[in-house]
């Protein structure tokens, strides 16, 4: 039976102190499922919950209240930004913070290492057999990739929807589902696009994009049938546009683009520049509309995207990935979890999954942000190990991992500003001077590698 009242739904659920509850982040900053559900659970006085959200965004302010009240004591997530991140950086938490990767989360849920007691799954459209679609309904979010494992493996699965209708594009099968809650609204689709989803007009970011593109050309990396992934940051979007132009002018066709999908990827598909889009999450309305229309635009689960135990994962065939960084160190380790001052600002998401699997991993980032140099002796938090990072492209130079002798050899004759990572650091310090060491506070959690090991510890700020 479809429940229309959150309180009555909660009455029917086997809630207990210490339970592990999960949410997905496909509505991104437009999500209005996590906050009200968590508030109702908190109001009932439950304690010591373990929150397993695939990602937490600025909108998720209720989590701060739940942390303060002792309702939530542990968090496992792949990405955290906004007030929750600020609170964790400054105050820590009673239990522990575990930062997973997109592939690692799927793996741990499937293998049972990270069980979920109740999964609350925002579902844009649900039919009478409890099948769910992400592309239909009044607040479509596109792919439901990060919710698939929750829907299959949680002990109790609850769909939360604002649209009961017949469905054409089934992404979650009703046979897995235990309860459906009908609410007025699951959120605001326009919140999906919040953040930077336009090609950057920042001239420094555009310079970095041009340098990344020149590097790809110098390496002769763009061949017929190439596969490519880039995120939704300003630099990535600019490179995607240049990449598409290159395919067009050279009469080439890429085999697939994967990961988070944007309008730039969709245009390439519709112009015949790429064969397929493997979409684990939609970053804008154009991508959502395309997922509904284009057969070669394929929604995939987090496990089919990046689970390291899944031999047929999409990124196992990935040729080139473009990734960001808040810090890089002399061993090429990359931090996108915190900034240089121990403020949590994000997390791996698919960063370390794609870096490990892709044949060529290029990190793009400004060499200096205000006065903070990109290259540190040691990153504050390792998100992605340096062994999986091949090139770092900044506005003032390109460093190639010395382990990639093949790349260094093929760049011997280029006029590109190739330098060692030490030279790149010295160049940054020429402007910024060498920063004093930033003191680390208590350990509040860990970065978990995609295979489940402990990659690094996460420290609180010293306030």
Judged by beta carbon, residue 217 or residue 253, the one nearer another protein is 217
196 makes contact with another protein (CB under 8 A):
no
- Judged by CB under 8 A, does residue 463 bind another protein? no
Secondary structure in 3-state letters for 246-311: HHHHCCCCEEEEEEEECHHHHHHHHCCCEEEEEEEEECCHHHHHHHHHCCCEEECCHHHHHCCCCC
Q: Which position among 31, 136, 390, 395 is part of the footprint of another protein (CB under 8 A)? A: 395
Whole-number minimum distance, CB 422 to another protein, in Å?
19
- Binding string, residues 64-103; x marks residues near another protein by CB under 8 A: ----------------------------------------
To another protein, the closest distance from the beta carbon of 91 in angstroms equals: 18
Our finding on whether 248 is near another protein (CB under 8 A) is no
Distance separating the N- and C-terminal Cα atoms of the chain: 50
Cα–Cα distance, 82 to 101 (Å, whole number): 19
Q: Is 253 in the site for another protein (CB under 8 A)?
A: no
139 within 8 A of 188, measured Cβ to Cβ: yes
According to CB under 8 A, which residues from 285 to 344 bind another protein? 340-341
Q: Which are the contacts of 171, defined by CB distance < 8 A and separation ≥ 6?
A: 132, 133, 134, 135, 143, 144, 148, 299
Which of these segments, 196-204, 224-232, 281-289, 379-387, binds another protein (CB under 8 A)?
A: 196-204
- Residue whose CB is less far from another protein, 450 or 461: 461
| Strands 327-329 vs 334-335: parallel, antiparallel or unpaired | antiparallel
**Closest to another protein by CB, 1 or 370:** 370
Q: Name the phi and psi angles at 153, rounded to 5.
A: -120, -10
**Is the Cβ of residue 33 or residue 88 nearer to another protein in the bound state?**
88
- Helix (H, G, I), strand (E, B), or coil: what is residue 201? coil
Enumerate the H helices of 156-280 as residue ranges: 203-218, 234-249, 263-270
Q: Which is nearer to another protein, 34 or 206 (CB)?
A: 206
Interaction mask 19-58, another protein, x per CB under 8 A: ----------------------------------------
Is residue 149 at the binding interface for another protein, with CB under 8 A as the rule?
no
Range in contact with another protein (rule: CB under 8 A) among 132-140, 198-206, 258-266, 306-314: 198-206
Distance CA 396, CA 368 (A): 10
| Smallest separation (angstroms) from another protein to the CB of 435 | 4
User: In the structure encoding, which two tokens stand for residue 461, read together?
Assistant: 């700020």
| For another protein, the closer CB: 61 or 90 | 90
CB of residue 90 to another protein, shortest distance in Å: 13
Is the Cβ–Cβ distance between 35 and 61 less than 8 Å? yes
Task: Please work out the total of residues on this chain that contact another protein, with binding judged by CB under 8 A.
Answer: 22
Asked if 198 interacts with another protein (CB under 8 A), we say no
Q: Closest by alpha carbon to 451, among 342, 323, 249, 313?
A: 313
362-381 residues in contact with another protein (CB under 8 A) are 369-372
- CA dist 24 and 145 (Å) reads 9
Q: β-strand 372-373 against 368-369: which pairing, if any?
A: antiparallel
Neighbours of 251 (CB within 10 A): 7
State which residue, 164 or 438, has the beta carbon closest to another protein: 438
Which of 201, 220, 295, 311 lies at the binding interface for another protein (CB under 8 A)? 201
Q: Does 249 bind another protein (CB under 8 A)?
A: no
Of residues 405 through 444, those in contact with another protein by CB under 8 A are: 415, 431-433, 435-436, 438-439
DSSP per-residue letters across 371-382 = TEESEESS-SS-
Residues that bind another protein (CB under 8 A): 201, 203-204, 206-207, 210, 340-341, 369-372, 395-396, 415, 431-433, 435-436, 438-439
């Amino acid at each position: 039976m479809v429940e229309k009242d959150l309180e009555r739904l909660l009455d029917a659920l086997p809630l207990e102190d210490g339970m592990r509850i999960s949410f997905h982040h496909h509505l991104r900053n437009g999500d209005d499922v996590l906050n009200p559900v968590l508030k109702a659970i908190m109001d009932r006085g439950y304690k010591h919950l373990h929150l397993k959200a695939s990602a937490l965004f600025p909108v998720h302010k209720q989590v701060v209240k739940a942390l303060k009240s002792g309702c939530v004591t542990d968090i496992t997530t792949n990405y955290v930004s906004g007030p929750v991140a600020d609170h964790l950086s400054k105050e820590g938490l009673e239990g522990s913070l575990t930062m997973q990767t997109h592939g690692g989360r799927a793996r741990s849920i499937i293998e049972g290492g990270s069980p979920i007691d109740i999964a609350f799954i925002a579902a844009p459209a649900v039919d009478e057999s409890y099948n769910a679609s992400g592309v239909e309904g009044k607040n479509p979010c596109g792919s439901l990739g990060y919710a698939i494992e929750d829907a299959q493996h949680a002990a109790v699965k609850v769909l939360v929807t604002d649209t009961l209708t017949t469905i054409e594009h089934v992404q979650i099968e009703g046979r897995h589902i235990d309860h459906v809650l009908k609410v007025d609204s699951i959120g605001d689709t326009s919140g999906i696009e919040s953040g930077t989803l336009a090609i950057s007009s920042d001239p420094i970011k555009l310079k970095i994009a041009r340098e990344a593109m020149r590097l790809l050309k110098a390496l002769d990396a763009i061949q017929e049938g190439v596969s490519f992934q880039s995120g939704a940051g300003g630099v990535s979007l600019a490179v995607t546009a240049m990449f598409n132009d290159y395919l067009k002018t050279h009469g080439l066709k890429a085999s697939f683009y994967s990961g988070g999908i944007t309008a730039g990827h969709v245009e390439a598909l519709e112009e015949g520049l790429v064969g397929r889009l493997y979409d684990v999450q939609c970053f804008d309305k154009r991508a959502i509309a395309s997922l509904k229309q284009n057969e070669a635009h394929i929604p995939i689960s987090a496990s089919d995207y990046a689970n390291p135990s899944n031999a047929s994962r999409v990124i196992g065939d990935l040729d080139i990935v473009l990734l960001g960084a808040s810090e890089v160190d002399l061993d090429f380790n990359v931090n996108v979890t915190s900034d240089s001052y121990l403020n949590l600002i994000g997390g791996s998401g698919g960063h370390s999954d794609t870096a490990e699997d892709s044949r060529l991993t290029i990190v793009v980032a400004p060499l200096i942000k205000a006065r903070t140099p990109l290259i540190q002796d040691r990153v504050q938090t390792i998100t992605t190990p340096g062994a999986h990072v091949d090139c770092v492209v900044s506005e003032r130079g390109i460093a190639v991992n010395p382990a990639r002798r093949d790349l260094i050899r093929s760049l011997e004759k280029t006029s590109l500003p190739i330098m060692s990572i030490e030279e790149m650091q010295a160049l940054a310090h020429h402007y910024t001077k060498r920063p004093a060491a930033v003191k680390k506070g208590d350990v509040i959690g860990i970065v978990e590698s995609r295979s489940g090991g402990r990659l690094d510890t996460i420290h609180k700020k010293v306030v």
